[in-house]
């Protein structure tokens, strides 16, 4: 098997259940503005487009109009609070580490391509003891572009030492499906993540409902990869 096989993962809602800490940070910001907190169960679908967009979505729920300066200030407050509490309740999804062990033994390398800031992504994965598993951890600020722009995926794969022709994307929402389609690679959707559109409606090449199903889904997509030997 070629050594160039690469699996690229989204982070929030794909590798790690980060919703509790993200929504706690959002509620910290909302409450500082005298706004009501957002219940966790209804806020999960708001996650995935980065910190600023999450803050904007939270503020919009109350119908108030916030200017650029206020949004910048509240986003900064959000990031400061979130960084201090980044792994209070966030945990890898069940079955993740076993799946990575299995796929790593098959010769895959792993990378993270997220719309989270790079330093926050690395901090989270460090706190969870997962950073060592990834050849590259890239965020929306790493290359100055965010998903679904294919440039972020292309450059993440290059930084990991892989080849796009031998890469599979794994994600939970529209930006992940979109970036894979635009980059011309297969994509696996996870049904346990954060999305305002059901992941099945976005037509990923394979769907999984538990991380233990990931190795089989990857194997099913292997014939679609253009592998060099």
Q: What ranges do the domains of the chain cover?
A: 6-17+90-224, 19-84
Is a pLDDT exceeding 90 seen at residue 63? no
Q: Which two tokens stand for residue 26?
A: 């959002």
Give the mean pLDDT of the chain: 93
pTM (two decimals): 0.92
Q: In which element (H, E) is residue 219 found? A: helix 214-221
pLDDT of residue 44: 85
Is a pLDDT exceeding 60 seen at residue 3? no
Mean predicted confidence (pLDDT) in 201-221: 98
Give me the catalytic one of 10, 12, 17, 172: 10
pLDDT of residue 229: 45
Is a pLDDT exceeding 60 seen at residue 77? yes
For the chain, give the percent of residues with pLDDT over 70.
97
How far is it, in rounded angstroms, from Cα 112 to Cα 170?
10
| pLDDT tens string 87-122 | 999 999 999 999 999 999 999 999 999 999 999 999
pLDDT of residue 41: 83
CATH class of 6-17+90-224: alpha beta
User: How sure is the predictor about 55, in pLDDT bands with cuts at 50, 70 and 90?
Assistant: very high
User: How sure is the predictor about 174, in pLDDT bands with cuts at 50, 70 and 90?
Assistant: very high
Report whether 170 contacts 8 (CB < 8 A).
Answer: yes
Query: Is 205 assigned a catalytic role?
Result: no
CB-based burial label for 140 (10 Å; 0-12, 13-18, 19+):
buried
| pLDDT tens string 114-162 | 999 999 999 999 999 999 999 999 999 999 999 999 999 999 999 999 9
For the chain, give the percent of residues with pLDDT over 90.
84
Is a pLDDT exceeding 50 seen at residue 227? yes
Q: Please, which contacts does 63-69 make with residues 24 or more away whose CB atoms are closer than 8 Å?
A: 64/35
User: How sure is the predictor about 2, in pLDDT bands with cuts at 50, 70 and 90?
Assistant: very low
CATH class of 19-84: mainly alpha
């Amino acid at each position: 098997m070629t050594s160039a096989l690469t699996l690229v993962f989204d982070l929030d809602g794909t590798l790690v259940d980060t919703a509790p800490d993200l929504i706690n940070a959002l509620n910290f910001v909302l409450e500082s503005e005298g706004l009501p907190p957002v219940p966790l169960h209804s806020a999960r679908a708001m996650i995935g487009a980065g910190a600023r967009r999450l803050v904007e979505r939270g503020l919009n729920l109350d119908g108030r109009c916030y200017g650029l300066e206020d949004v910048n200030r509240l986003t900064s407050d959000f990031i400061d609070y979130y960084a201090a509490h980044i792994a209070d309740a966030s945990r890898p999804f069940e079955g993740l580490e076993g799946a990575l062990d299995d796929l790593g033994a098959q010769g895959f390398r792993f990378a993270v391509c997220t719309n989270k800031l790079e330093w926050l992504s690395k901090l989270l994965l460090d706190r969870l003891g997962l950073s060592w598993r990834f050849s590259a951890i890239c965020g929306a600020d790493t290359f100055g572009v965010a998903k679904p722009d294919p440039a972020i995926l292309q450059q993440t794969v290059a930084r990991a030492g892989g080849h796009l022709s031998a890469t599979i994307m794994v994600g939970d929402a529209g930006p992940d499906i979109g970036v894979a389609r635009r980059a011309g690679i297969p994509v696996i959707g996870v049904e346990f993540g954060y999305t305002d559109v059901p992941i099945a409606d976005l037509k990923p090449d394979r769907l999984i409902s538990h991380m233990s199903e990931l190795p089989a889904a990857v194997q099913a997509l292997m014939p679609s990869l253009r592998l060099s030997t």
